Amino acid sequence: KDYTIKENYIPEIEGMPSLFIGNKSAQTLEITLEDKISGVEVVLSYSVFDDYDVILRNTRIHNISDSTIEIDSAYSANLDIAKGNYDLIYFSGGWGREREFCRSEIQQGAKIDISNARGGSGHTLNPFIMVSEHNADEDKGNVYGFSLIYSGNHSSMIECDQYGNIRVQQGINPFMFKWTLEKGESFVTPQCVMCYSENGIGGLSRELNDVYRTNLCRSKWADKDRPILINNWEATYFDFDEDKLLSIAKRAKEAGVELFVLDDGWFGTRNDDFSGLGDWTVNYDKLPSGIDGLAKKINDIGLKFGLWFEPEMVNPDSDLYRAHPDWAISVPNRISSLSRNQLILDLSRDDVCDYIITAVSDVLKSANIEYVKWDMNRQLTTMGSCGLPADRQGELYHRYVLGVYKMQERLLQDFPELLLENCSGGGARFDAGMLYYSPQIWCSDDTDAVERLAIQEGTAMVYPVSTIGAHVSVCPNHTVGRITPFETRGNVALLGTFGYELDITKLSAEEKELVKKQTADYHKYNELIREGDYYRLASIAENGRYDSWMIVEKTKKKALVFYVQGMAAANGKSRFVKLKGLKAQSRYRIDGKEYSGSVLMQAGLKVAQEFGDFKSRIFLVEENVD
Ligand code: GLA
């Protein structure tokens, strides 16, 4: 019907996260289509930035008819890629093993749906896929990326026709989705970020990392050193009192930690995971001076104070549920399935969202709380809302997500200084939607340093390193029982926001000294790690022997190389690890020796095998300008 081009403009998507223009130049093409017969007008929006190889897509559907229209499916983007040999890359997983890299050839006639219908973006399949030329690798070849800025049910459809042409569509999963549009109303889809690189998977990752760090993460913390935190979850689980928490905080302060985070178990009757969710009032039996008293004592020690909430949930054994059983998502006359003994609050309802966000805000106002961990520990099932008429139940999944966004928006408006970390049973909601609200997301409940190599590598394929919640925990590791060197746990956690998740009072004297070194290293290197370019050098998931990655400053004057060996081998050889992203003509210093950039990239940096499993090294690479 029509089209317009808008200069220096990208659309904001009402009630949903989306990229912002910031100080970049961008323009948007809006194409309006009209179907007179059904009375539907559709606006297709395409935005491009001068500085990035991305196209932002989303769709607005208007009901211009005189009657009601039902939408059964509304994808955000479609792209046809001319025929060739292509692979699909996607990220699968489960609890404790999020975002595993998967790659397979797209066969003629294929129809593949990389999707989730569990209510959130999910542990199982992330809302991010790549279509790469079959010959593309980490460093070269054409790769197309599709990332959905959305935290609910998603779908990425990949089809290959009889000629080998590929069609990709990405958007809200049509599973159990039905949206009613009254006359004059519109529906807007989430934003899809389509990205392209001719420099392989690595090139695409770095592009998206930059886009998200610079034009998605709004928090004032996004480009700052985050305070090094210690979280009491793996140290105490539910079994803590004020003395125990203060003893952890004191030791942590001595070792250079800056923020103490009190995790689950501080409220209601929450002494295990059977009760209390929904009752956001302090448990004075455990914490006699309350949250305000505890926060003050933590502040007096010299640490900031942070607190865990799980605002979207309710235990049947809670005062909230007893007062408002209808506030939980459920289907009349059917038994609601519990997961981790909890039900889901119906966030499609304004009254429920208002109550919960007010309860959370009241706690935040009552004490000096500078950080919040917002958790969400179950999938959505038995979907039914008594706030919606029978013929609108298909709107519940999406309205739930809009409720989450609304609550986080309000929280940040009321507490603009707050450092918010999202979390969902580990990393089940590590998606671009959440990054709009929180500059960091807990990456996985699996804190084992070796398992984390693959989890963090998969996560950093799209999401910036600066957003990856990564902590040092004790050994044997609570999830897998593995023993790894303390140094390695620190080196792996440096690829992220960095913190500790252990009882620091129980560490040996030697380990405590290592904590001091690690916290100092964090601040020494954080700007480089947060803002540099991330290059994957070797993956233990592929070679079974060692893992290596590096972060290169944008100026290419400085870099950090990380190396983690797997199981040690008798008579083990040293390895040459080929570095990336340096200037070939420059000379660089590493450990007092000088090398040319081209030697480091073509021949590699020699790394000796060390005695002991899972040993690791960090090398600082600095351009020699003498
Ligand atoms: C989830 C989180 C953990 C911890 C627990 C508390 O599993 O991922 O980090 O907060 O909940 O119940």
Residue type (1 letter), 90: Y
SS (H, E, C) 55-122: EEEEEEEEECCCCCEEECCCEEEEEEECCCCEEEEEEECCCCCCCEEEEEECCCCCEEEEEECCCCCC
What pLDDT is attached to residue 537? Answer: 98
Cβ–Cβ contacts within 10 Å for residue 518, how many?
A: 23
Active-site residue identified among 279, 375, 446, 547: 375
Is residue 613 part of the annotated active site? The answer reads: no
Average pLDDT of the segment spanning 333-355: 97
Distance between Cα 171 and ligand 1 center (Å): 29
Distance between Cα 347 and ligand 1 center (Å): 21
Q: Which two tokens stand for residue 596?
A: 């040319």
Residue 573's pLDDT band, with cuts at 50, 70 and 90, is confident
- State yes or no: pLDDT of 557 exceeds 80: yes
pLDDT in tens, 75-104: 999 999 999 999 999 999 999 999 999 999
What pLDDT is attached to residue 125? Answer: 97
591 three-state secondary structure: coil
Residues with CB under 6 A from ligand 1: 233, 263-264, 308, 375, 377, 423, 425-426, 442, 445
- Kindly state the percentage of the chain with pLDDT values over 70: 100
Q: Which atom of ligand 1 is nearest to the CA of 308?
A: 10
What's the residue count for the chain?
A: 626
Residue 559's pLDDT band, with cuts at 50, 70 and 90, is very high
Q: Where are the beta strands (DSSP E) in 489-613?
A: 499-501, 533-538, 546-552, 558-565, 575-577, 587-590, 593-596, 605-607
- State yes or no: pLDDT of 453 exceeds 90: yes
Residue 222's pLDDT band, with cuts at 50, 70 and 90, is very high
Is residue 445 part of the annotated active site? The answer reads: yes
Nearest C-alpha to atom 6 of ligand 1 is from which residue? Answer: 264
What pLDDT is attached to residue 570? Answer: 83
Q: Which atom of ligand 1 is nearest to the CA of 424?
A: 8
Q: What is d(CA 354, CA 368) in angstroms, rounded to the nearest whole number?
A: 22
Q: Where are the beta strands (DSSP E) in 447-531?
A: 468-469, 471-473, 499-501
Average pLDDT of the segment spanning 276-303: 98
**Which residues, 6+ apart, have CB-to-CB distance to 221 below 8 Å?**
419, 439, 440
**Which residue, among 355, 392, 407, 375, has the nearest Cα to 120 in the 3D structure?**
375
Average pLDDT of the segment spanning 383-394: 97
Distance between Cα 402 and ligand 1 center (Å): 23
Contact 187, 447 (CB under 8 A): no
HSE value, Cβ hemisphere, 13 Å, CA-based, for 271: 7
Q: What is d(CA 58, CA 44) in angstroms, rounded to the nearest whole number?
A: 6
Contact 262, 306 (CB under 8 A): yes
Contact 447, 484 (CB under 8 A): no
**Which residues, 6+ apart, have CB-to-CB distance to 160 below 8 Å?**
86, 106, 107, 108, 109, 110, 111, 166, 167
In order of 143, 159, 199, 203, the CA distances from 85 in angstroms are 12, 13, 17, 20
**Which residue, among 349, 454, 343, 429, has the nearest Cα to 97 in the 3D structure?**
454
pLDDT in tens, 152-194: 999 999 999 999 999 999 999 999 999 999 999 999 999 999 9
Q: Tell me, what DSSP letter sits at residue 151?
A: S
- State yes or no: pLDDT of 333 exceeds 90: yes
pLDDT in tens, 110-140: 999 999 999 999 999 999 999 999 999 999 9
SS (H, E, C) 490-514: HHHHCCCCCEEECCHHHCCHHHHHH
For 616, the enclosing helix (H) or strand (E) is strand 616-623
Contact 359, 280 (CB under 8 A): yes
Active-site residue identified among 445, 446, 533, 547: 445
Q: Which two tokens stand for residue 311?
A: 């605002």
Nearest C-alpha to atom 5 of ligand 1 is from which residue? Answer: 264
- Kindly state the percentage of the chain with pLDDT values over 90: 99
Distance between Cα 199 and ligand 1 center (Å): 38
Distance between Cα 375 and ligand 1 center (Å): 7
Average pLDDT of the segment spanning 583-597: 97
Q: Which bin fits 122, alpha (ψ -120 to 50), beta or left (φ > 0)? A: left
Q: Which atom of ligand 1 is nearest to the CA of 423?
A: 8
Contact 76, 66 (CB under 8 A): no
Q: What is d(CA 481, CA 477) in angstroms, rounded to the nearest whole number?
A: 4
Partners of 107 in beta bridges:
none
Q: What is d(CA 190, CA 257) in angstroms, rounded to the nearest whole number?
A: 38
- State yes or no: pLDDT of 334 exceeds 80: yes
What pLDDT is attached to residue 359? Answer: 98
Exposed/middle/buried for residue 318 (C-beta within 10 Å: 0-12, 13-18, 19+): buried
Distance spanning both ends of the chain, measured CA to CA: 63
Residue type (1 letter), 146: F
What pLDDT is attached to residue 89? Answer: 98
Cβ–Cβ contacts within 10 Å for residue 590, how many?
A: 16
Q: Tell me, what DSSP letter sits at residue 364?
A: H
- State yes or no: pLDDT of 594 exceeds 90: yes
Contact 491, 549 (CB under 8 A): no
> What DSSP letter does each residue of 231-270 carry, written as one string?
ESHHHHTT---HHHHHHHHHHHHHTT--EEEE-S-SBTT-
- State yes or no: pLDDT of 422 exceeds 80: yes
Q: Which atom of ligand 1 is nearest to the CA of 501?
A: 9
What pLDDT is attached to residue 626? Answer: 73
Average pLDDT over all residues of the chain:
97
- State yes or no: pLDDT of 572 exceeds 90: no
pLDDT in tens, 491-543: 999 999 999 999 999 999 999 999 999 999 999 999 999 999 999 999 999 99
